[in-house]
Structure 1
């Protein structure tokens, strides 16, 4: 018990000094969104008690998949820190479990689990008393399943087959969460299956409603998960095996060709990149195919463009994941590292995207102009934005050969990686908007527009990234080596702003994607396909003359929010 309390105090001390500046603002925004979701879950206990089990199932999936997608989860206290103390695995796992309850995410989940107390109070005092330990045990199940999932994926990433399998599974689960409206719509027609309440996420609810065996089942499950995590922690200490199989030497006649060969070799060797590629592919296919449950195939042709957007988001910190290897580029005069990385990224992603788009569009019979216009525009935009965002918003990463027992953790700043990925999602979608609008209005002319805009974005953004790399290369290398950004730059751009303007900028950057992407671009695609009165897309509920104007207004609002945020953080000349 003393070890557990000590680890909890260590976690509190670390977080007290860590949440400052931009990281504090990111945590505050995430906490605000989490509280809203928790309030919605508690509301289900009052208004729709039959849906509460499904709500907790979604929370469980979020706990299991969120850390996998966001760089390995919270590892403020790593198991490696205590390897020299000689603690038994079970004791170490128990201490880390207690420390894991300290943080924003557990607190938000605890608020959501108050729905169990509401359900108990509606049945009587005894049920309410049973709901209290059920809340604690259910939260422990959430946390432990998250830890076990991350540990299992970490072990899987030590083999190519495991990396591919985990990428496919995680992409499918995240796509299901992204298309949760499809399942809610299906549940609205047929009702939530009664089996959902018997999932581990619903055992606390069963206990609060009078099934006392569920409370004992939760306790047993916590012990089993704790033992499994202890065993996985013991295996985590083992080093990953390296292949002794010979490799063909790389040959290249130019510096750019050498970079392309090096990047392609990395895409084939690095298991984390294998995981990211299969994750994006699985996400694109499952996200586009989910509406088939409702008998609607209108989204299936867009599997390829969705894959491109997600693949770009996964590569948004391209230079950061390479660690300090940037010194090789800086010491090679005349090497065009950016152009080589662009060609290599296109060589790895474009064939998959083209095949996926052609096959899915052929199944549904189109719409060919819109799909091809989006494909070419997004490929070019992503090829330009991947190096540009990486050099301007670089998040210091861990050298690949120094990655810890959790291969998913390629950086110490999970919030920075997540924000960079969301920024990439929004920017890549914006690069495809002009070609999509031309295709909707003029048909096949949109394909030409997509080729032109894609080529311009790839060339122009790549040029900006190349100039940035040449002018700020030593500074970027220092950031990756030390893990700290220059204080003057950070303060002048954001932390030096007044509190009100800083808050406005964070809200603009944090919520600008909502009107821009779902209510704007996605709603316009739905209207063009004749998909009306669906889910929360406002434009689909408008009269025929207002559907496209409403979608365009939301796109303008999203762009205005991002523009306002950029204008606020733009440095002002000193008087």
Structure 2
């Protein structure tokens, strides 16, 4: 493959670039063909199924709704390509630019080849299916417009992929400095919080929820080209070329840049073992730019999520910015041990040592002051509610401090050593699906630790504060002790997982792997998609209907006619439970019958071969009479 990338020197530049692009696309296809198996393949299939549903929804908009709605849908797709790789750990790194740094490829040639390889995958195929809505819109207008839709689809898909690559490249470059890491965290947190509170902006823009700005965004240029605006089509092509050049420049910086050593720090001093652990961990929090980015992202998300309803003149969400920050900070640091890589051996080689308590105290030292400041400050601005806030604060802090080490140890996802992260610091692990699953699990678990105190405070006021203190201290102590016990008993296995990237197969996972592929697929679809209709479209929608809150963008039931709202919400709950039941039924193992048990027991005797037979079994026996 390397010879094919560098051989065609005498050919024309266009032929050389095309050959490089085709070779890299073949490399990407070969890697995907051999890696999309097992658990990762099943999770990929679940993501493809969810993306297919979204693509079908976009096509439905192209048939039944106005062009403005279709333009808004493509704006959401563009935001997904822009933010998805950033949030989920650095995007597609199947072919890393560092792998080709010694071949001497020109930056534009390398960028073009990697761009062609980026089109090989499931995400571009799903986005291409959604972009077929441009063809549908063109057919509705006429034959000439349908012909314009073909180049518009190609250029729009190229824009999606290039925007994703440039965003990851720019953020990776920003994470090489503390100012860049903090600035990127602020921007990304604000954008993600805006998407989470998008109903506020839809409400502000009017009942249609479609501002005229969507026509002027690059995501709408393809639709404008289909309607006969050739200037928009040309602008889309020029923008793709500019983004390709920008990505080539970012690639050259990524493969050629070298990290500089941090400025000298005062030596750490501590009088106790726990003090040394806390000092080491706090030094890591201050020097690891990925952790700087994660905490800044969590803070920006909490503040912007709570402040978004101020657009409508409602400050009721503002006091909860602090608790939201705690939950998001725990979610972002759910892979705490994975971020340190194989440095775990330092703890395992020290007799009787464990760093769980030190990590817990360091995490609290990094998060608590900011959480208290944000909660008290915004609570003073909005006037409370103080019992609920002061009950949630210790409950969530203790719950998060206990859950972070437990989840990161029990659900350890093999990470990349910090000094081996390469040019993409966001890529702290090769298993992005595993990291994403841990993050979502942490969101639910930390929120659950604050539920008892929140319920008591909502019903009985100040009585919730001691409940929050008690649950927070108990979660910190008990879950920390649980993590310590796990680290002591399974330390060598955890280190093996970090070193090799492979988890020791448990009996439960072995039984799952022994299932037929069809049952594994059914199980992943059931468990992967069951939460969507059950929680947001079912339970949360019922809460909104009970409170009379209608026309919220994410909840289908709130858009139905009055006689169908509750039926749709309850139907979604039933659908979610049915999907989970389908997954459980698929993994259910049939009980062994006496006949099968006897067969399994006698199998070694019937399959013995002369080579493996013992001398006793090969001794001739006396002939027996035929019946």
Query: When the two structures are superposed, what TM-score results if normalisation uses the length of structure 2?
Result: 0.84
Equivalent position of 2:328 in the other structure: 310
Equivalent position of 2:496 in the other structure: 478
Shift of 1:27: 0.6
Q: Which moved more, 1:519-528 or 1:79-88?
A: 519-528
Shift of 1:489: 5.5
Equivalent position of 1:233 in the other structure: 251
Q: Which moved more, 1:226-235 or 1:497-506?
A: 497-506
Equivalent position of 2:31 in the other structure: 14
Structure 1 counterpart SS, 2:228: coil
Instruction: Give, in whole Å, the separation in 1 of the partners of 2:164 and 2:329.
Output: 24
Shift of 1:532: 3.2
For the structure 1 residues 461 and 433, does the alpha-carbon distance in structure 2 shift closer, same or farther, using more than 3 Å as the test? Answer: same
For the structure 1 residues 2 and 46, does the alpha-carbon distance in structure 2 shift closer, same or farther, using more than 3 Å as the test? Answer: same
Instruction: Give, in whole Å, the separation in 1 of the partners of 2:467 and 2:583.
Output: 29
Instruction: Figure out how many residues of one structure are paired with residues of the other and give that number.
Output: 569
1:34 and 2:66 correspond: no
Instruction: Answer yes or no: is the 8 Å Cα contact 2:74–2:219 preserved in 1.
Output: yes
Instruction: Give, in whole Å, the separation in 2 of the partners of 1:432 and 1:225.
Output: 45
Instruction: Give, in whole Å, the separation in 2 of the partners of 1:564 and 1:276.
Output: 36
Instruction: Give, in whole Å, the separation in 1 of the partners of 2:582 and 2:402.
Output: 23
Instruction: Give, in whole Å, the separation in 2 of the partners of 1:271 and 1:518.
Output: 34
Instruction: Give, in whole Å, the separation in 1 of the partners of 2:115 and 2:527.
Output: 34
1:450 and 2:507 correspond: no
Equivalent position of 2:147 in the other structure: 129
1:46 and 2:63 correspond: yes
| 1:140-197: CA deviation from partner (whole Å, max 9, x where unpaired) | 0110011011111111111111000000001111111222222233333375222321
1:95-174 equivalences under 5 Å are: 95-174=113-192
Match of 2:296 among 278, 289, 292: 278
Equivalent position of 2:625 in the other structure: none
Instruction: Give, in whole Å, the separation in 2 of the partners of 1:521 and 1:447.
Output: 27
Match of 2:305 among 276, 287, 290: 287
Instruction: Give, in whole Å, the separation in 2 of the partners of 1:516 and 1:363.
Output: 36
1:176-575 equivalences under 5 Å are: 176-189=194-207, 192-243=210-261, 245-488=263-506, 491-492=509-510, 494-497=512-515, 502-503=520-521, 505-507=523-525, 509-511=527-529, 513-514=531-532, 518=536, 532-533=549-550, 535=552
Shift of 1:236: 0.5
Instruction: Answer yes or no: is the 8 Å Cα contact 1:302–1:371 preserved in 2.
Output: yes
Q: Aligned-residue CA RMSD in angstroms? A: 3.2
Structure 2 counterpart SS, 1:189: coil
Shift of 1:240: 3.8
Shift of 1:431: 1.7
Instruction: Give, in whole Å, the separation in 2 of the partners of 1:488 and 1:296.
Output: 51
Shift of 1:302: 1.3
Shift of 1:254: 2.1
Instruction: Give, in whole Å, the separation in 2 of the partners of 1:500 and 1:375.
Output: 46
Q: Gapped runs of 5+ residues in structure 2?
A: 1-17, 598-627
Shift of 1:368: 2.1
1:87 and 2:102 correspond: no
Instruction: Give, in whole Å, the separation in 2 of the partners of 1:28 and 1:64.
Output: 22
Instruction: Answer yes or no: is the 8 Å Cα contact 1:433–1:521 preserved in 2.
Output: no
Q: Which moved more, 1:72-81 or 1:375-384?
A: 375-384
Instruction: Answer yes or no: is the 8 Å Cα contact 2:50–2:529 preserved in 1.
Output: no
Instruction: Answer yes or no: is the 8 Å Cα contact 1:256–1:336 preserved in 2.
Output: no
Q: Gapped runs of 5+ residues in structure 1?
A: none
1:55 and 2:73 correspond: yes
Match of 2:40 among 14, 23, 28: 23
Instruction: Give, in whole Å, the separation in 1 of the partners of 2:367 and 2:542.
Output: 26
For the structure 1 residues 525 and 267, does the alpha-carbon distance in structure 2 shift closer, same or farther, using more than 3 Å as the test? Answer: farther
For the structure 1 residues 265 and 556, does the alpha-carbon distance in structure 2 shift closer, same or farther, using more than 3 Å as the test? Answer: farther
Structure 1 counterpart SS, 2:427: coil
Instruction: Answer yes or no: is the 8 Å Cα contact 1:426–1:517 preserved in 2.
Output: no
Shift of 1:560: 11
Equivalent position of 2:624 in the other structure: none
Q: Which moved more, 1:271-280 or 1:299-308?
A: 299-308
For the structure 1 residues 519 and 42, does the alpha-carbon distance in structure 2 shift closer, same or farther, using more than 3 Å as the test? Answer: closer
Instruction: Answer yes or no: is the 8 Å Cα contact 1:256–1:335 preserved in 2.
Output: no
Instruction: Answer yes or no: is the 8 Å Cα contact 1:493–1:570 preserved in 2.
Output: no
| 1:384-442: CA deviation from partner (whole Å, max 9, x where unpaired) | 11111111111111111111011111111111111111111122122222222222222
Query: When the two structures are superposed, what TM-score results if normalisation uses the length of structure 1?
Result: 0.91
Instruction: Answer yes or no: is the 8 Å Cα contact 1:255–1:336 preserved in 2.
Output: no
Shift of 1:507: 4.6
| 1:324-358: CA deviation from partner (whole Å, max 9, x where unpaired) | 00000001122231111111111111111111111
Shift of 1:106: 0.7
Shift of 1:266: 0.5
Instruction: Answer yes or no: is the 8 Å Cα contact 1:322–1:397 preserved in 2.
Output: yes
Instruction: Answer yes or no: is the 8 Å Cα contact 2:68–2:214 preserved in 1.
Output: no
For the structure 1 residues 82 and 541, does the alpha-carbon distance in structure 2 shift closer, same or farther, using more than 3 Å as the test? Answer: closer
Instruction: Give, in whole Å, the separation in 2 of the partners of 1:572 and 1:360.
Output: 56
Structure 1 counterpart SS, 2:141: coil
Structure 2 counterpart SS, 1:406: coil
Instruction: Answer yes or no: is the 8 Å Cα contact 2:48–2:123 preserved in 1.
Output: yes
Instruction: Answer yes or no: is the 8 Å Cα contact 1:154–1:407 preserved in 2.
Output: yes
Higher Cα Rg, which structure: 2
Instruction: Give, in whole Å, the separation in 2 of the partners of 1:210 and 1:270.
Output: 51
| 1:238-258: CA deviation from partner (whole Å, max 9, x where unpaired) | 344424532111112222221
For the structure 1 residues 25 and 277, does the alpha-carbon distance in structure 2 shift closer, same or farther, using more than 3 Å as the test? Answer: same
